[in-house]
Structure 1
Amino acid sequence: MMKKPFNVIFEDNHLLVVNKASGVLVQGDKTGDKTLTDYCKDYIAKKYNKPGAVFLHPVHRLDRPVSGIVVFARTSKALERMTTLFRKREVHKVYWAVVKRKPPEEMAKLTHWLVKDSEKNVSKAYDTEVPDAKKSELGYKRMGKLNDHWLVELRPHTGRPHQLRVQLAAIGCPIRGDVKYGFAKPNPDGSINLHAFHLVFIHPIKKEKLFLRAALPEEPFWEQFLEFEQLKTGDRHLDQTFSG
C-alpha cells in the first residue's frame, strides 16, 4: 500500500506547509511521476472547491528520498517574500540524519567547496576552493546512539544541492541508505534516513514567528529514535542552539 504523500503541518491564506513522505518528488523531473506540488494542488482544489488552476509554488526543495518539511506559497506576494527569506538565509533549518559511523566530534562546523555534476546528478566535496565550486557550511551535533547507528542533528548555513548528504559523506559518515554517497546498502523503500525536522522563520505577511515541526516518518527504524524527539518539544531557541 502506498504511503500518504504528505501531511499538512500549517495552512493559511498565504502558505501551505507539509510533511513530505520520502520517495515523493517536490517538482517534476524526467520520470514524469506525480509530484508533491501536484498532490498539494489537488488538496487545495478539493478543500476550497476551486474549479480553475490553483496557484501553489514550492519555495524550496527536498531531494526525492528525503522526508520532512516543505513550504508552498499560495499567493505571488508570499512566494516573492518567502524566496527572499530563503535567499537571505533568514529561514532556520534543522535536519535529523542517521549514520552508521560515529561522527568525529560531538559538535562541529563543516566547511567544504561543492561542485555539482548535473549530468550524473551528484555533488563532490573539496576541502579547499576549486574552480566552479560553491562554499558550503554545515553545523552538526551528535544526538545519541541506538543499535549501532548515530542520530545527528544538522543545521545548514547554506543551501547547496545534496549539501547535507555530500558533506556527511566527506567526513566518512554517509547517511543510512544513501548509496549514491557511499552507504553500503539501500533502504528497502528507497528512502534515506534524512528528515527535514524543523523550520523557523517570520511569516511573510503576518510577521509572526513560526516554529514548524515535522514528525518523524511512521516507519519502524525511524520510530526507535522518537525518544530523542522529546528534546525538541520545548525548544524555542532553534536559531541559536542545538537540541538537548
Structure 2
Amino acid sequence: MNKKIPILFEDNHLLVVEKPPNILSQGDQTRDADMLTLLKEDIKERYNKPGNVYLGLVHRLDRPVGGVMVFAKTSKSASRLSDQIRKREFEKSYMAVIHGKPSKKKDTLIHYLLKDSKTNTVSAVENGIEGAKEAILDYEVVDTIKGFSLVKINLHTGRPHQIRVQFSTIGHPLYGDQRYGPKVNNVGQQIALWSHQITCEHPTSKEKMTFTSLPEKKEPWIRFMLDTNIMYK
C-alpha cells in the first residue's frame, strides 16, 4: 500500500483498522484511493491470495474523518455486523473539537436530517418532511480551551454527516468543517472529528469487543493533550 494503514485487530472474521484522515471509505467517481480497495490489496499481498479478496464494508466514515473502522472478512460476518448496526448494538463514540462551549455539559441532540444527493449536503428540517430521518447522539464536553471545546460523542444513529450537521445546527460547528461552518473555518483546515471507539459483538464467538483510537497529535487536538488523560475524562 502507498499509505500504511494501522491494523488494530485481525482474525479470520474481522479486520479493524485506524483509518487515516482524507481517504475515502469506499471508491467513488473521483477514483481516489479508498479504504476498501487498499485493504483488499493488502490482504491479497500479505496472505498471497489468488483471485478476488472478500472484504465487507459494514459502516463508513466521512472522507476527512480518521479513526477506528471495522470491516468483515466473510459475508456471514458482514451480515451479522450489519444486523448489530440495524439493532443499534454496534456502539460508536467519536471525539470532536467544536467552536464555542455548549450551554449544557451533557446533552442528547435529536434532529431530523434531510440529504440533498445533488449537492451531497445534509440539513436539519422539521419532523414530517418527506425523506427526513431521525438523528440522535449524546455528547459530553470534556474540556474548553480558548474558545474551543473537546467533546465526546456517542452516536445512536448513523446518518450522513450527522455529527457535523447536528453541532452546526446548535451553533457549534466543528473545527475545520468548511461545509457546515464556513463562516468560522478556513479553507484547508483539517476537520477535527475522530472515530474514537467502537464496541461490537464478535460475529462468531459473540464476545463483546472494544477497539480504540486516539486523534493525531496535531492541531487542534494537541491543545487538549497537555494532560495525557484528557482524552479519557
The alignment's TM-score, normalised by the length of structure 1, stands at 0.88
2:11 counterpart residue number: 12
Shift of 1:104: 1.9
Alpha-carbon contact 1:176-1:187 (below 8 Å) kept: no
Question: 1:139-178 to 2 correspondence within 5 Å?
Answer: 139-178=138-177
Kindly provide the CA deviation profile for residues 92-113 of structure 1, in whole angstroms up to 9, marking residues without a partner as x: 1110000121112100011111
User: What secondary structure, in the 3-state scheme, does the structure 2 residue paired with 1:177 have?
Assistant: coil
Are 1:216 and 2:215 an aligned pair? yes
Question: 1:58-73 to 2 correspondence within 5 Å?
Answer: 58-73=57-72
Alignment-mate amino acid for residue 185 of structure 2: K
Shift of 1:127: 5.2
2:205 counterpart residue number: 206
Shift of 1:223: 3.1
Shift of 1:215: 2.4
The gaps in structure 1 that reach 5 residues or longer are: 233-242
Q: Distance in 2 between matches of 1:49 and 1:225?
A: 43
Q: Distance in 1 between matches of 2:151 and 2:205?
A: 33
Alignment-mate amino acid for residue 30 of structure 1: Q
Instruction: Rate the CA distance shift 1:147–1:5 in 2: closer, same or farther, 3 A.
Output: farther
Alignment-mate amino acid for residue 193 of structure 1: A
1:25 counterpart residue number: 24
Instruction: Rate the CA distance shift 1:206–1:152 in 2: closer, same or farther, 3 A.
Output: same
Residue identity (%)? 40
Alpha-carbon contact 1:58-1:70 (below 8 Å) kept: no
Alpha-carbon contact 2:201-2:207 (below 8 Å) kept: yes
RMSD: 1.9
Instruction: Rate the CA distance shift 1:203–1:98 in 2: closer, same or farther, 3 A.
Output: same
Alpha-carbon contact 1:202-1:209 (below 8 Å) kept: yes
Are 1:185 and 2:185 an aligned pair? yes
Shift of 1:75: 0.6
2:129 counterpart residue number: 130
* Shift >4 Å, 4+ stretches: none
Instruction: Rate the CA distance shift 1:51–1:191 in 2: closer, same or farther, 3 A.
Output: farther
Alpha-carbon contact 1:21-1:217 (below 8 Å) kept: no
Question: How many matched pairs?
Answer: 231
Instruction: Rate the CA distance shift 1:186–1:12 in 2: closer, same or farther, 3 A.
Output: farther
Q: Distance in 1 between matches of 2:52 and 2:5?
A: 21
Alignment-mate amino acid for residue 203 of structure 2: P
Shift of 1:150: 0.7
The gaps in structure 2 that reach 5 residues or longer are: none
Alignment-mate amino acid for residue 80 of structure 1: S
Shift of 1:222: 2.1
1:238 counterpart residue number: none
Alpha-carbon contact 1:65-1:191 (below 8 Å) kept: yes
Instruction: Rate the CA distance shift 1:42–1:219 in 2: closer, same or farther, 3 A.
Output: farther
